[in-house]
Amino acid sequence: MKKEKVVVIGTNHAGTHSILEIANKYKDTHEVVTYDKNDNISFLGCGMALWIGGVIDSGDGLFYATPESLREAGAEVHMKHDFKNVDFDKKTIEVEDIDTGEMKTETYDKLIFAIGSWPILPPLPGHDLENIMYAKIFQNAQSAIEKIKDPSIKKVTVVGAGYIGIELVEAFKENGKEVTLINDMDVLNRYYDSNFQEMMRANLEKNGIIMQLGETVTEFAGDGKVSKVITTKGEYDTDLVLMSIGFKPNTGILADTGIELTPRGAILTNNRMETSIKDVYAIGDCATVYNNASEQFENIALATNAVRTGIVAGHNVCGTPLEMQGVQGSNAIHIFGLTLSSTGLTECVAKSSGMNVETVEFTDLIKSAFMPENDEITVKVVWEKETKRIVGAQMASTSDITLALHFFSLAIQERYTMDKLALTDTFFLPHFNQPHNFITKAGLLALGKL
């Protein structure tokens, strides 16, 4: 029996996991061919700041697969090949060999787009000056490592106060640099409500970060190399700029192909990661996933989502039905000893989306009060008023409380309600928590509002 050919464009997190599912579990019935324009695969960008900050000695451990390991699994791997075109009617793609310029046409039975996302690069005056950098791929991290070794680089400016921007702020500070953070809004505004933003802002200021919030960069100045960042409110001397203002789906090449895209350019998919084109799938940062909190398909670019969408598509292209269970956008950040974590919707996002929500927020000790080593935790839970279903949660502490986020994430996925949360059965041991720990306490405090 002739094997079906699955072509995967992209070997990022999503692509790699999809390839491995097909190669390891369906090798008797399917062959898998992959193309990627890079020369390496599976780079864990979340470790970039750890490498730059010296927490880890090298970037070698930030790869969990190689072209060779995919080939050993049975995949046909073509690196440094740039995807150029697709013909959905003929079921062909065109790729260009970056080294030789040679064009190649590849046929497919099933096609998976794992083309990822790319940093937003505003064409500001001076954007092409030397020492203006971006954070995405392995080569970006390598360049940043080399730059911070240069003793002439004393002042670093990070533009963008999302997760990557703030992690890089800490990394540059740990290297002894004077660091300025510029953002047009508050820190982490997409993931947390105001009280949690204030905690992180105060934490950064306490550790010597110069904060310039509520400002928009309008220009870069310098003679060959960047020496100044100009914003709507001021000018700031700098030796190095790291741009981190967000990412967009890398789907520009698909704009006129007939495949259905969202207004922001993500490939619209269902829970099997199928697109609007028969036998074509999309996974990872370039695709949509179902948000259980908002009850809409959205582009939520997280490594965890990429991995799961890759696994789901890998089975579906080979004929085994498997569906995503939706996502909550669960995330966390650890900066200068402070850990914030969130899942689902913030109060601000929920209300701006037209949802009628209620909240509870409190600060308490994690363990019983008589325990000698004890830290505080601040918790906020957001729920839909009419249904009582939990739609979001946020936590902050100097202790590692991130495992509790898994509970809140599952609660959102399973449409758990606040009255159930109040009486959920949890264990008690003074070493770890209180009789009414911070999870159930959120429900108990909410009872009067339900």
Full set of structural domains in the chain with CATH: 4-118+248-316 (3.50.50.60), 121-245 (3.50.50.60), 337-449 (3.30.390.30)
Percent of the chain with pLDDT over 90: 88
Determine the Cα–Cα distance for residues 121 and 119; give it in Å rounded to an integer: 6
Backbone φ and ψ for 55, nearest 5 degrees, come out as -65, -35
Check whether 258 has a pLDDT greater than 90: yes
Half-sphere exposure of 256 (CA within 13 A, CB side): 2
pLDDT tens sequence across 274-332: 999 999 999 999 999 999 999 999 999 999 999 999 999 999 999 999 999 999 999 99
pLDDT above 90: residue 70: yes
DSSP 315: H
Q: Does position 450 have pLDDT exceeding 80, yes or no? A: no
pLDDT one-digit tens code per residue, 241-254: 999 999 999 999 99
The 10s digit of each residue's pLDDT in 327-352 is 999 999 999 999 999 999 999 999 99
pLDDT of 394-417, one tens digit each? 999 999 999 999 999 999 999 999
Provide the annotated active-site residues. 13, 46
- CA-CA distance, 3 to 89, in Å (whole number)? 20
4-35 tens-digit pLDDT: 999 999 999 999 999 999 999 999 999 999 99
| More confident position, 198 or 149 | 198
Contact 395, 401 (CB under 8 A): yes
Average pLDDT, the chain: 95
Position 370 scores a pLDDT of 95
> Residue 331 corresponds to which amino acid?
N
User: Has residue 61 got a pLDDT over 80?
Assistant: no
- Residue from 86, 122, 77 nearest 106 by CA: 86
CA distances from 380 to 98, 116, 202, 327, 408 (A): 50, 32, 19, 19, 11
Which one, of 442, 449, 428, lies nearest residue 394 by Cα? Answer: 442
Is the entire prediction scored with pTM above 0.75? yes
Helices 438-446 and 403-413 sit at what angle, rounded to 10 degrees?
40
Q: What is the reported pLDDT for 49? A: 78
What pLDDT is attached to residue 48?
79
Torsion of CA 40, 46, 50, 53, to 10 degrees: 90
- Residue 406, pLDDT score: 97
| pLDDT given at position 352 | 96
Q: Please give the residue that has the higher pLDDT: either 352 or 41.
A: 352
Reply yes or no on whether the pLDDT at 168 is more than 80.
yes
